[in-house]
Amino acid sequence: MDRKANTRSIVIPTVGRKKLWVSWVALMLCCAAGSAWAQAPLTEAAVVRLARSHAPGSAVAQATERLADARQRTAGLLLNPFVGWERETVLTGQGSAQDIFRATIAIDMAGPLSNRSLAASRSSWMRAEASVTRTAAVLDAVLGYYDVVVAERRVAILRRAVSSLDEAARVLARREEAGNASGYESTRLAIASELARSRQAEAQGTLHSARARLAALLGLDVDTLRVDTTLALSPLRDEAQLVRSGTSDRAAIRQARASARFAAVAQDRAGWTWVPTLNVSGGANLVSDPDRRHGYVVALSLSIPIFDRGQGLRAEAEAQRALSTARAEALSRTVRAELASSYAIYTTARQELARFEAATSDQVDALLRAAQSGYREGQRSIVELLDAQRAQTDVAERRLSLLGAAKQAEARLRAAAGELR
């Protein structure tokens, strides 16, 4: 009886085992999915998303926007009301005491309204600066991403060049065994191999530097950083459409123009700051004497605008309007210049890349195949083979350079148009 009871106590129910098995499988799938996500190579879209939240400039832009909101919310507040108490006592005769409770409100509308518009103008410009800072941060991360991609592809090109030279060395070794190779050929090939390895080591160092910089910008671990090495040019867009988008739809331009509008409103409102401030008071008057009398207190006071007639606020509003207008125009012209410059570089790089690929893609491959075949058959010298291999490497590097320049110009074009924000 006791043994049966003990046996039953350690048996896991069937339903429990099924739930445990399902939970374990689900956990393993989640871990595998998380590991796959962590190892997924970064694309340009992922870099943009990460830069918007993790790049140093994006954090500065977010803090600037919070400061602008705080300043606008707290500007131009009305003066606080005053609450007072007074006691007057007469000690001679029968004696009496008088308590006066009074509340005073200052009525000044022109000054606070103008200050609110001034604060709105300054806050709008701070938001424009924040937008420019965030766009620059995202652009910097995208350009850093392109640097990593170009560096990785250049390392791959030079690695293939070293492999080709190693293959040539094996062919030369067989020819030396047969007595068909000279010492000059061996020395020439050894020098070419060392040059190729040196260029590969330099490219590898450039890649490490680019990876470290991108990881720091995005707040990632450089050891686990992987990028998608695909580089493809986007369809060419109309320049006039890009200019319209950059000078009208871009957030920084809108905020700069809003700053000028608020400054104009502040200047209009400041024209009424000469109106005197009116103080209205009212309260209760309690007299402590044998009759215990009571009454009320009403008072009006008006400031006399002799020294301060609002001229300081009017001058500040006028200067703010001029400054905001100049800033908006300067930013608009800067954006147009950046659009024009980036568009010229982009179209030139695209055209040259297309022309260069069409002119060299077939010829360089045919040249290398002919040199390799002829060298294996003993009909061509090592110098001809090295020249063909160097030509192929130079052409591949030139294509990559043109493609990288076109992608960087494309990114700057998108940033100027307000698409990277």
If asked whether residues 65 and 87 sit together in one domain, one would say no
If asked whether residues 155 and 284 sit together in one domain, one would say no
Res 314: pLDDT: 92
If asked whether residues 375 and 359 sit together in one domain, one would say yes
If asked whether residues 130 and 228 sit together in one domain, one would say yes
Asked if the structure places residue 187 within a domain, the reply is yes
If asked whether residues 93 and 189 sit together in one domain, one would say no
Question: Which residue, of 308, 327, 361, is where some domain finishes?
Answer: 308
If asked whether residues 294 and 323 sit together in one domain, one would say no
Question: Which residue, of 284, 308, 332, is where some domain finishes?
Answer: 308
If asked whether residues 236 and 328 sit together in one domain, one would say yes
Between strands 82-90 and 294-302, the pairing is unpaired
Q: What is the CA radius of gyration of the chain?
A: 39
If asked whether residues 97 and 164 sit together in one domain, one would say no
- Residue 230 and residue 418: Cα distance in Å, rounded? 24
**Residue 45 confidence (pLDDT) above 70:** yes
Percent of the chain at pLDDT above 90? 50
pLDDT in tens, 114-173: 999 999 999 999 999 999 999 999 999 999 999 999 999 999 999 999 998 888 888 778
**Which amino acid, one-letter code, is at 197?**
R
- Give the distance from CA 175 to its chain's centroid: 58
- Residue 345 and residue 408: Cα distance in Å, rounded? 9
**Residue 414 confidence (pLDDT) above 80:** yes
**Residue 246 confidence (pLDDT) above 60:** yes
How would residue 8 be classed by pLDDT, with cut points 50, 70 and 90? very low
If asked whether residues 146 and 293 sit together in one domain, one would say no
Asked if the structure places residue 138 within a domain, the reply is yes
**Residue 355 confidence (pLDDT) above 80:** yes
**Residue 108 confidence (pLDDT) above 90:** no
If asked whether residues 263 and 399 sit together in one domain, one would say yes
Contacts of 104 (CB under 8 A, 6+ apart): 81, 82, 83, 84, 279, 280, 281, 299
List, as one string, the DSSP characters of 347-367: HHHHHHHHHHHHHHHHHHHHH
Percent of the chain at pLDDT above 70? 88
Res 34: pLDDT: 46
Residue 92 Ramachandran class (φ > 0 left, ψ -120 to 50 alpha, else beta): beta
C-beta atoms surrounding 29 within 10 Å: 10
The pTM for the full model equals 0.80
Angle between helix axes 110-177 and 311-376 (nearest 10 degrees) is: 10
Question: Which residue, of 264, 286, 308, is where some domain finishes?
Answer: 308
- Residue 376 and residue 362: Cα distance in Å, rounded? 21
Least Cα distance to 367 among 390, 343, 399, 348 occurs for: 390
- Residue 241 and residue 21: Cα distance in Å, rounded? 59
pLDDT in tens, 64-103: 999 999 999 999 888 889 999 988 887 666 667 888 999 9
How would residue 24 be classed by pLDDT, with cut points 50, 70 and 90? low
If asked whether residues 90 and 158 sit together in one domain, one would say no
If asked whether residues 172 and 295 sit together in one domain, one would say no
Asked if the structure places residue 18 within a domain, the reply is no
Asked if the structure places residue 32 within a domain, the reply is no
CB distance 344 to 145 below 8 Å? no
**Residue 410 confidence (pLDDT) above 70:** yes
Sole residue written with tokens 């030079």: 158
Let me know the angle formed at the C-alpha of 22 by 17 and 25, rounded to the nearest 5 degrees.
125
Question: What mean pLDDT, rounded, does the chain reach?
Answer: 85
Alpha-carbon distance values, 197 to 184, 194, 203, 249, 388 (Å)? 20, 5, 10, 50, 17
Asked if the structure places residue 23 within a domain, the reply is no
Let me know the angle formed at the C-alpha of 151 by 136 and 196, rounded to the nearest 5 degrees.
155
Res 94: pLDDT: 65
**Residue 196 confidence (pLDDT) above 80:** yes
Asked if the structure places residue 5 within a domain, the reply is no
Asked if the structure places residue 1 within a domain, the reply is no
Higher pLDDT, 308 or 259: 259
**Residue 37 confidence (pLDDT) above 50:** no
Q: Which residues pair with 98 in a beta bridge?
A: 88, 287
What CATH number corresponds to the domain at position 245?
1.20.1600.10
Structure-block tokens of residue 36: 């796959």
Total number of domains constituting the chain: 2
Domain limits for position 295: 79-107+276-308
Res 23: pLDDT: 54
Asked if the structure places residue 313 within a domain, the reply is no
Least Cα distance to 141 among 226, 207, 213 occurs for: 213
